[in-house]
Amino acid sequence: MSEMPALFLSHGAPPLVDSELWVNQLRTWAAALPRPTAILVVSAHWESAPLTIGSTTTGTPLVYDFGGFPRRFYEVTYGAPGAPDLARRVAMLMPDGEPVVHQPQRGLDHGAYVPLTVMYPDADIPVLQMSLPSLDPQRLLRLGERLRPLREEGVLIVGSGFTTHGLPFLRDPRPEAPAPGWSAEFDHWASEQLARGDVDALLDFRRRAPGMPYAHPTTEHFAPLFVTLGLSRDPAQPPEQVVDGFWMGLAKRSIQVA
């Protein structure tokens, strides 16, 4: 069985599926990966402590956690198989005495299902979503380290967020809008730290990164990156930067760790 890489991807709002470029980038990326035995998603759109595991049933419901979009975005379905065995493995990998909550009614939010509808449109791979139990980068790095054995079992683990997410500060709503200075500066800085494998700098992004706090007035969209970095066999080894560029001025930078 091939050891799966781990991903951090900028998932975008539901209308990102209308971007031919982004769709082609994700489809090409997925086609180059080994076929996963299951998919585990940690999305910026689900913060819950202690660690919480979502629905394990086939045809897991979707959470349309957004507003103001055309009706078609609320009619999307994604009937992937459930992943109860993966849910048990995730719970087993957590430290003794640390509670794990099961929330079987909690479906896949758009941070999970939007990219999966592009990467694995047949919905034939078991999918599980778990919460972000903290926004502390160090804790999330350790969480990724605990989940690392799942890679050897063929599980594709996806941290789903956005490299910049300063929605309150966007002034141009067009998908092709130029990146504001704070977004471009933060993205350039993040790219440099990733290229150097400088995890310490990334962990301290609140203080060190230019463009803050505009790039992340709240930090949940950058937080899944640290789970992904923790999944690396060697966190200091620079990851592959697979996707870059901007959408609505927000940085789409997405990575793959070995």
Burial of 39 (0-12, 13-18, 19+ CB in 10 A): buried
The per-residue pLDDT for range 87-97, each reduced to its tens digit, is 999 999 999 88
- Three-point CA angle 105, 144, 61, nearest 5°: 20
177 pLDDT tier (thresholds 50, 70, 90): very high
Q: What average pLDDT does this structure show over 14-19?
A: 91
pTM of the model: 0.97
- Domain that residue 246 falls in: 6-257
Mean pLDDT in residue range 242-258? 97
Is 1 contained in some domain? no
Judged against a pLDDT cut of 80, whether residue 66 lies above it is answered with yes
Q: Is residue 70 in a domain?
A: yes
Alpha helix (H) residue ranges in the chain = 20-32, 84-93, 110-119, 137-147, 149-152, 181-196, 199-203, 205-208, 224-230
List pLDDT tens digits, range 35-50.
Answer: 999 999 999 999 999 9
Number of domains the chain contains: 1
Q: What is the mean pLDDT of residues 65-87?
A: 94
For the record, the structure tokens of 48 come out as 């819950």
Q: Which residue has the tokens 């079992």?
A: 153
CATH number for 26: 3.40.830.10
Q: Is residue 85 part of a domain?
A: yes
Residue 23, in any domain of the structure = yes
Residue 147 placed within a domain: yes
- Taking a C-beta distance cutoff of 8 angstroms, is the pair 132, 46 a contact? yes
pLDDT interval class at 12 (50, 70, 90): low
In a domain, 224, yes or no: yes
Q: 38 in a domain, yes or no?
A: yes
Residue 17 lies in a domain: yes
Secondary structure element (H or E) that encloses residue 196, with its range: helix 181-196
